A = this chain, B = another copy of it.
Amino acid sequence: MATRGDKRTRLVKAADKLVQRQGYHATSLADIAAAAGVPLGNVYYYFRSKEALGDALIGQRGEHYRARRATWDREPDPKTRLRAFVEMTVENSTLLARSGCPIGSLCQELHKQGGPLAEAASGMFAEFLDWLEMQFRALGKGAESRELAVHVMSALQGATLLTHSFRSPRYIESEARRLKAWIEAL
């Protein structure tokens, strides 16, 4: 049901889903309000502007990924944690083929104009890069760790963009196979 939970939560959830599918600019507050079962005018009781709702959306998305990484951190082996990250992308490949990466596509769109919302979106990237770097440090890679983190993130983001552009999971699958072999050989 679109009408479960309090209205603020429903608005953020609806915004999250619609922005992922349609993009930030292409999603109107009327779309979001309708999907959340909230009258348009009432949106402004909870959020002073579309940007404020966007910020809440990014906050929730960031929290989602933090929780995800926390479950991976329970694994004792850093290589297992890295594999889990790659595997997440493979598992989501159907969704990624339809709408692209929730982080990457939002950054791409928002950074064309810049502003605080764009910075908030790249924050999600920064957190993932920091987490990846930590895994490589745990593997004893030292100063090289940041570069290795950038490599993993780049390969997956690029493959996700191709998967989105051709609407086929093939590209993610191909790069994931390669990355998993590369992790094994580290």
Contacts and interface: CB of A to CB of B under 8 A. Distances in A.
Interface of A: 21-23, 25-26, 99-100, 104-105, 107-109, 111-113, 121-122, 125-126, 147, 150-151, 153-159, 161-162, 164-167, 171, 174-175, 178
A79 to B, nearest CB: 20
A155 B153 contact: no
Contacts of A125: 162, 165-166
A161 B159 contact: no
Number of chain copies forming the complex: 2
A178 B157 contact: no
A154 B158 contact: yes
B100 A111 contact: yes
A109 B105 CA distance: 8
A112 B158 contact: no
B147 A178 contact: yes
A131 to B, nearest CB: 15
A178 to B, nearest CB: 6
A126 B26 CA distance: 26
Nearest to A114: B167
Nearest to A167: B111
A46 to B, nearest CB: 25
A108 B110 CA distance: 12
A100 B100 CA distance: 16
Nearest to A112: B23
A90 B175 CA distance: 22
